[in-house]
Structure 1
Amino acid sequence: MNSFKSALIALVCSSLFACNATAPNIKPRDGSENITQGQAKARSNVVSEVDYQLSFTLTGETRFEAISKIDFSLASTAEALTIDLNQANISKLLINGKSLYPNYNGAYLTINPLLLSSGKNTIEISYSREHSTNGEGLHRFEDPVDGKVYLYSHFEPAAAQQMFAVFDQPDLKASFQITVEAPPSWQVISTMAETHIEDLGDSKIWTFPATPKLSPYNFSMHAGPYHVWQDNSGKYPMRLFARQSVAEQVNYQDWFTYTKQGLSFFDDYFGIDYPFKKYDQLLVPDFLYGAMENAGAITYSESRFMVKDTMTAAQRQRLAGVIMHEMAHQWFGNLVTMKWWNGLWLNESFASFMGTLATSEATEFNHAWRSFYASGKLKAYQQDSLVTTHPIEVPVASSNNAFDNIDAITYSKGASVLMQLRHLLGAETFQQGVQQYLKTYSYQNAQLADFINSLAKASNRDLSQWTQEWLYQAGVNTLTAQYQCKDHRISKFSLLQSAPSEDFATLREQKVQVALFRAARHFIHHSTTVAVTYKGAITEVPELVGEYCPDLVYPNFDDWGFVKVELDQRSFNTVKQQLAKVSDPLLRSMLWQSMWDSVSDGHTSLKQFINVALVNAPLEKDYTILGQVIGYLTEVQKNLHSMAPNHKSYATKVSKALTQMSLRMTMEHHDDADFQRRWFDAYISLASDNAALGHLADILAGIAPIKGLTISQDLRWKIIIQLNRYDYPNSAALLANEKQQDNSDSGQKSAIAAEVSRPQASLKRQWLHKIQHDSQLPFAKARIAMVHLYPSEQKLLSAATAEQRLDTLSEIDKKGPVFMRAYNRALIPMDCTNANIEALSEVLNTQTGLSKMTRRALLEARQQEQTCVSMSEALAR
């Protein structure tokens, strides 16, 4: 082939179509931004030694300009190569120095192999793009208070392509060197500390050195006129950033204290110094999640970690815990990264486990494992009991499915399983295995087998069976103590393990502690504890034969195992009558959960649980458990609302009792700010009758103060939302006035919550149309509207649009996973009726093209409806 003909073919293939676009047995990409695991593997098989040189011009306007220069090695030029770049206007493409017209479909460029060389290649792309407004890519936010513009990036799982041209997959690690031109008053933050800032008068150019090898989703760049705090008192320089208009709400001392404590703990635990030299943290608006572990520049959601009040103990602990979680990722996730998204669970499970361990051992919150049980672990038990349960390790077909299974199983069950593996192997052995894993795979990608093999080597133990049972099989087992007594002594003792169903029949091995208790007049006496490794259906425990016959047996004492505990009848009766006498707070927390499980599983009536709660909740002296119990009470009221009108009289009676109890306890705890605030929050959320709502209105007006309680701006909005939810007289005017007084971002979102919750049919339809069709409504505000549109007691208003919401679900589902994750959670119709169960079944049977995520949400909604109907029927008996 002569040179002219070769060049002509190259130009045509580059401009119009891909020649030899895919390898055998690999389907071509579908034109979207998503990439399958097979396509990603094929790309990483030929691409290596990737370096990015990225240049950005930022003005604060809605578009930005940029140049992406990619240096890489190519093992083979036999197949076409794709480079991800989402919705950009490309002005120039250079391939190995030659200018060409791009073959670009709005999601990725396809590069003809004839234009590339085996070995080193350089591709340079100049383009402009709109800033994102949905929390992904390079997100732009304009502060409504002062008009200042703030940018931050978010790339997980595959949104780096919304900011620059990239091989957007985790196993193509690369170095990133960036240059940023920005307005002179702005800060620019990235993985590395800047090496030079050039002042051009109207702008500044920030130059950053190349990063260590990172997966694209671990890199970040943020810019804007952020307020900055600095602390250089520790081993690594620390900075904290927030918007100017909210800076006074930031308690930066807490941030630096917990950060310094965590860095010291992790350096020691991992045996490897923190890899990214400086530690930046940013509070950002409109964030999709709680936080994101960008290497060296972690982002946090303002709405979750910023309050217009003194932080409560729970809020401070949550802050410390999330700081530790994201910090653990700097080693486990950033330093060593999964090869593909099926490994995301290990990143998150390990960070959840290590974050809790660090919080409990390095901060003031030494009860962190109890908090983990009362929140994360209980959610994992619930999630693992659903029809949609899944193994911890699951295949992920494409980048679009990366978050399909990001749930309490991924985070909290995984963390719990790692905790019980630590008990099984021993704490020191587990730590040695982790250190070996991190040292072996630093700045590389690794798989589950690499992690398990490191632990197996450290423990000199075959973990293949453990891996199969715990990571590749779904479902949570139930553990029950079975025993006989003779002459007041135990004559036989066994642990019975059962599986949830034939579909999830695995019986697992794990190590737990079995504890025996005897009831005395004023307390429950802890008599005996033995450690037992059980497996199979029945495990005999001869060590307990001869002990005094117990009044209470708990076969997972200190929460070593991941297993639901079903109390034997004698123990259950003891708990019902004497729960407050149990002095051990973790045990008391677990007994509360056993009581609630008994209701959910249909063994105990909701009425019986309410009676126990009304007696014992006011006696609860542990702050963490109180939060757990209030969560149950809130769920009780929600269920009773959903059951209307079947149990209207009883629901009204219970709501009034719960409200009065919450107010009484708020007043009694005037000398304990944390307890008082927890009870007052409960009072607001439970208030539904005119007397309670009127009292809240008086508190808001300042004519019914409660001793010790300060009504902050956050509490003002909570009260206004509740008053509007029940259309209390003058509540609309209160909303309008507060909206004028507080024009902040959080104020605007609170105003939306209050407005959409009002029980007005026309208003509901207007907002539903906005949510479904208004592309100008920022996603962060749409998400708030979704959550508050149909409160549980507004059944008739929800029913009025239920059919339309179900009929349009397949069309709405096309909005993608970010939108649908929020939409499904809030707007799939719930009615606690057999008719709604049938309606959900009809959608599942007929709308066969729904995404996996939405089908899963429908299945879970149907199961939740079935449980509610069963509870309602039991309550009627």
Structure 2
Amino acid sequence: LVTLSWWDDIWLNESFAEYMGYQTLTEAILPQALNSVRAGEAPFPDTWVEFGVARKGWGYDADQRPSTHPVAPDPEAVPDTASALLNFDGISYAKGASALRQLVAWLGEKDFLAGINTHFARHKFANATLADFIDNLASATDRDVHAWAEQWLRTTGVDTLTADVHEPTGPTEAGQSWALTVERDGSRPHRITVATFDHALNTQAGPGHLAPRDRFELDVPGDSAPTVRTGRRPALVVLNDGDFTYAKIRLDPASWDTALGHLSAIPDALTRAVIWNAARDMVRDGELDPARYLTAARTHLPYESDLALVQGVLAFAGGQIADRYVTPEACPAALATLTDLCRDLIRRTEDGSHPGLRLTAVRHFIDAATQPDTLQAWLTEGTVHGGPELD
């Protein structure tokens, strides 16, 4: 309907396709999903979970290499189609879609949709540029979209947001309130949601159930004053709940201990995805021992119900940690941990209730196996007991 004028604006095609594809699935009401919709559930509840664990990592990795580039590079940086071809990458797709998701959170969906519909009406069956797009968005809001675009679309790299949680120290103030300060390493503005959790007595969700306590929005950077909340300090404070911005997240030490010990007990899959991604980034940045990530996976994946999370954690644990990050001496133990974990998942799915989860577990068992016995039995019989059949 509206075609980019030149290849410096490929994000206007690809980032939008990525963002709108996931968002449409999140909101779509298909006939087979009507029963869940009538029950008040999203028809495809894990759509943004899949994006967070399978796509955003692609953008983060590409954005931290020397070959990174802005989401919307200057036209001079894309002088020909050969140069343009290099930009069909995790930045033009995953980072650009993440930037759009943050733009919607920052602008509000109503103004965002008004702005892009103005863009479509003005330029339908013709060409447009980044400047056209930003001007049309600006016509629908009082916010400074031009400044936002300069900070988000013309820069490179990943911001890091770090939570600093503290309580008053006076004897009469203890347990009455707590305060949050978010430190930003980077240059972009972020509108994030903060979620807090407390320990609960119910342990049905796995080891140590956590109960949601509070959610609130926060602009980073804000003023210099910390955000003060009433009540005792939560057991877990999660920045970027809902995964609405593009940034590496660092939880405070007490929250990290709670998160890594109680990941499977967090009710919302997208919150769990944010924490798993934070753990992944910390391993990648040398701030979290790879063995601790493996321990968390071994502890919590047997209780995990979201297929995208299981797939993403196993892929990173196998393809990165066991294959690259641990020492050669520690590799056999890491692989044994993964085969034990996959065996647990295979046992859990024997009743046929989770065929996708079972297939994922079988595939990763094959990747991690260091002994031939189980694989030889599967090959000889042409099937895994209880499925899947080998194709």
> C-alpha separation between the residues in 2 aligned to 1:600 and 1:407?
20
**Within 5 A, what are the aligned runs for 1:728-807?**
none
- Go from structure 1 to structure 2 and tell me whether the alpha carbon gap of 1:396 and 1:701 turns closer, same or farther (over 3 Å shift): same
CA-to-partner distance for each residue in 1:113-151, whole Å, 9 max, x for gaps? xxxxxxxxxxxxxxxxxxxxxxxxxxxxxxxxxxxxxxx
The DSSP-based 3-state class of the residue aligned with 1:559 is: coil
The DSSP-based 3-state class of the residue aligned with 1:475 is: coil
Checking the alignment, whether the CA contact within 8 Å between 2:178 and 2:232 is kept in structure 1 is: no
List gaps (5 residues or longer) in structure 1: 1-334, 500-506, 714-877
What one-letter code is carried by the residue in structure 2 that aligns with 1:532?
L
> C-alpha separation between the residues in 2 aligned to 1:510 and 1:611?
32
- Go from structure 1 to structure 2 and tell me whether the alpha carbon gap of 1:436 and 1:605 turns closer, same or farther (over 3 Å shift): same
**Within 5 A, what are the aligned runs for 1:616-765?**
616-635=300-319, 636-639=321-324, 647-648=328-329, 650-670=330-350, 671=352, 672-687=354-369, 689=370, 691=371, 693-702=372-381, 705-713=383-391
Larger radius of gyration: 1
> C-alpha separation between the residues in 2 aligned to 1:577 and 1:594?
14
What one-letter code is carried by the residue in structure 1 that aligns with 2:379?
L
| Matching of residue 565 in structure 1 with residue 231 in structure 2 | no
> C-alpha separation between the residues in 2 aligned to 1:627 and 1:616?
13
CA-to-partner distance for each residue in 1:806-839, whole Å, 9 max, x for gaps? xxxxxxxxxxxxxxxxxxxxxxxxxxxxxxxxxx
> C-alpha separation between the residues in 1 aligned to 2:314 and 2:224?
36
Checking the alignment, whether the CA contact within 8 Å between 2:192 and 2:217 is kept in structure 1 is: yes
Q: What's the offset of the Cα at 1:355?
A: 0.8
Q: Where does residue 341 of structure 1 map in the other structure? A: 7
> C-alpha separation between the residues in 2 aligned to 1:682 and 1:625?
14
CA-to-partner distance for each residue in 1:642-679, whole Å, 9 max, x for gaps? x6xx533x211221231233134223312221221111
> C-alpha separation between the residues in 1 aligned to 2:22 and 2:178?
40
1:438 to 92, 117, 120: 120
> C-alpha separation between the residues in 1 aligned to 2:342 and 2:82?
44
Q: Where does residue 493 of structure 1 map in the other structure? A: 180
> C-alpha separation between the residues in 1 aligned to 2:210 and 2:122?
50
What one-letter code is carried by the residue in structure 1 that aligns with 2:335?
S
What one-letter code is carried by the residue in structure 2 that aligns with 1:371?
E
2:146 to 453, 458, 464: 464
The DSSP-based 3-state class of the residue aligned with 1:706 is: coil
Q: Where does residue 35 of structure 2 map in the other structure? A: none
Checking the alignment, whether the CA contact within 8 Å between 1:673 and 1:708 is kept in structure 2 is: no
> C-alpha separation between the residues in 1 aligned to 2:89 and 2:16?
14
The DSSP-based 3-state class of the residue aligned with 2:127 is: strand
Q: Where does residue 267 of structure 2 map in the other structure? A: 583
Q: What's the offset of the Cα at 1:354?
A: 0.7
RMSD: 1.9
> C-alpha separation between the residues in 2 aligned to 1:529 and 1:668?
33
Checking the alignment, whether the CA contact within 8 Å between 1:667 and 1:707 is kept in structure 2 is: no
Q: Where does residue 517 of structure 1 map in the other structure? A: 197
Aligned length: 361
Q: What's the offset of the Cα at 1:491?
A: 4.4
- Go from structure 1 to structure 2 and tell me whether the alpha carbon gap of 1:493 and 1:401 turns closer, same or farther (over 3 Å shift): same
**Within 5 A, what are the aligned runs for 1:78-477?**
335-362=1-28, 363=30, 364-394=43-73, 395-477=77-159
Greater relative CO, 1 or 2 (CA 8 Å, sep 6+): 2
- Which aligned segments of 4 or more residues in structure 1 are displaced greater than 4 angstroms? none
The DSSP-based 3-state class of the residue aligned with 2:367 is: helix
Q: Where does residue 158 of structure 1 map in the other structure? A: none
- Go from structure 1 to structure 2 and tell me whether the alpha carbon gap of 1:583 and 1:555 turns closer, same or farther (over 3 Å shift): same
- Go from structure 1 to structure 2 and tell me whether the alpha carbon gap of 1:336 and 1:531 turns closer, same or farther (over 3 Å shift): same
Q: Where does residue 530 of structure 1 map in the other structure? A: 216
The DSSP-based 3-state class of the residue aligned with 2:139 is: helix
State the TM-score, normalized to the length of structure 2: 0.87
| Matching of residue 540 in structure 1 with residue 225 in structure 2 | yes
Q: What's the offset of the Cα at 1:386?
A: 2.7
Q: What's the offset of the Cα at 1:474?
A: 0.9
> C-alpha separation between the residues in 1 aligned to 2:337 and 2:48?
32
Checking the alignment, whether the CA contact within 8 Å between 2:15 and 2:93 is kept in structure 1 is: yes
State the TM-score, normalized to the length of structure 1: 0.40
List gaps (5 residues or longer) in structure 2: 31-42, 169-173, 204-208
1:551 to 224, 227, 235: 235
Checking the alignment, whether the CA contact within 8 Å between 2:163 and 2:182 is kept in structure 1 is: yes
> C-alpha separation between the residues in 2 aligned to 1:351 and 1:540?
39
Q: Where does residue 289 of structure 1 map in the other structure? A: none
Checking the alignment, whether the CA contact within 8 Å between 2:19 and 2:98 is kept in structure 1 is: yes
Q: What's the offset of the Cα at 1:462?
A: 2.9
Q: What's the offset of the Cα at 1:539?
A: 4.8
